Amino acid sequence: MAKYIFVTGGVVSSLGKGLTSAALGCLLEARGLKVGIQKLDPYINVDPGTMSPYEHGEVYVTDDGAETDLDLGHYERFTNTPLNKLSNFTTGSIYDSVIRKEREGGYLGKTVQVVPHITDAIKACVLKMAEQDLDVVITEIGGTVGDIESLPFLEAIRQFGLEQGRDRVMYMHLTLLPYLRAIGEVKTKPTQHSVGKLREIGILPDVLVYRTEVSVDESVRKKISLFCNIPLDAVFEEKDVDHSIYELPLVLQRQGVDDLVLKRLQISPKKESDLSAWENLVERIITQKCEDVTIGIVGKYIELHDAYKSIYEALDHAGIDSGAKVSLKKIEAEEVERDGAEKFLRDVDAVLVPGGFGSRGIEGMISAAQYARENAIPYFGICLGLQIAVIEFARNKCRMNDANSTEFDKSCQVPVIDLMAEQQDVTDKGGTMRLGAYPCRIKKGTLAFDCYGEEDISERHRHRWELNNKYLEVLEANGMVPSGINPESNLVEIVEVPEHPWYMGVQFHPEFKSKPIKPHGVFNNFVKAALARKRNTKNPNEQSAPSSAVTENGE
């Protein structure tokens, strides 16, 4: 039977509950346990799929097509746990299921209330997760203790401990120790108040993890232990890491977090801890000499870093793997549209156009794609970025001046990007979306095959519009190759331009499958190309072979 860990947070939001949950999952997997991780979010949206990236950051997509919170990306990057539709629930989805059940007569005319009906539905989400033959389920509770929105979730996990037995359930609480520079001290009072709020609800944390800018001495830990009524050996420090978030599992292991969890839940580890892959990763981050490489990200949501979180992380992974430091030049597409591509891209080593919806900034992205193609700068288009590449190529290489997407111009005369025929009359936009994992067959002898090293792959999608096969013949005649095709629908998944040093667009989101200890092949190859271009630009008379890829992104 599975054991359960609930991770809560207090004082302020964005403390790092997702990273802490992911790192804990990593530690338990290293002991041979099968771990599942999920997040319960307090907002009323049914899922993040319709939320603005400015509000919520990126929408992370699982293989089975769930549109989820970006914290699930941390879970997959730190662990091998398979994520799915049971990995993320919101207040909206919980209430939606309860209301539907009530309308169908499922409560036999009873008054439907937060307790027990909403809390029962929340507990059912956790129990469903455990049905996947897991040893431990880690459930992160979004928001902070004291928020009105979080109360039903906190009440539900209080009940859960009572019903399942305290030997099978433990609570981990993450708080902030603010550092007051004027007096050179950290303050424990916010942590005391946060734990006090939890105790009012009926939850006494088994483990407390405090975030801090500076390490604190033993007297501070003893004070936290005393005033929060938590044993000293269950109080752990999570200081801001010096080099990379991927140090976090090692930081927590050195303090014995995994040992305490196993002891508290009476779990026998299946093997000795092996974090050698993480140790090697961190060693490389800290010690290897890196070459700088600059990648221009031309996007619609540049202002918020989390809007393209997985892309930035995937570039980091490729950099770590190759011994180079990726610096991100974040470029607002509308500014390119206004001032021209050369102003922003003349000093970059590669260009990446990420996904997005809507017409804002599109012409700026098209200008960026054209500049990269005509100046032999490596170009990588992801989802919308593929569509941008196709539109630009059709206009400027195939001389189809009116080429466009029906997403941006419903009456365009040359719809090189369009909805599939069966989607045309669908009024529910969610019904037209390709979501989750789809197969792709790659042509041998192409750049795509070099990146993947195999013919049959699967990648995750989140989009509506497709390359219109009606125009494939003219695109191919002018030098664009459809190097990846969905074998079931014949839809184009990957395009490239062989006459260019490195020019590729993919209809899917490869960033979702990149891990720090297993970087994605396409990102690796892209960053190698950027590094090669930089070397050749420095030494134009030398033909430098592309080295391995890149490290730590800078801002």
Active site residues: 383, 509, 511
Contact by Cβ (8 Å): 351, 345: yes
Q: Which of 75, 65, 64 is nearest to 17 (CA)?
A: 75
Residue 482's Cβ-count burial label (10 Å; 0-12, 13-18, 19+) is buried
* Whole-angstrom distance, CA of residue 463 vs CA of residue 535: 36
Phi, psi for 526 (deg, rounded to 5): -65, -45
* Whole-angstrom distance, CA of residue 12 vs CA of residue 28: 27
The token pair at 403 is 């080429």
Residues 6+ apart with CB under 8 A from 177: 186, 187, 188, 190, 191, 210, 211, 212, 216, 220
16: left (phi over 0), alpha (psi -120 to 50) or beta: left
* Whole-angstrom distance, CA of residue 471 vs CA of residue 415: 9
**How far is the first Cα of the chain from the last one, in angstroms, to the nearest whole number?**
46
Phi, psi for 435 (deg, rounded to 5): -125, 140
Q: Is the dihedral of CA 144, 146, 150, 155 positive or negative?
A: positive
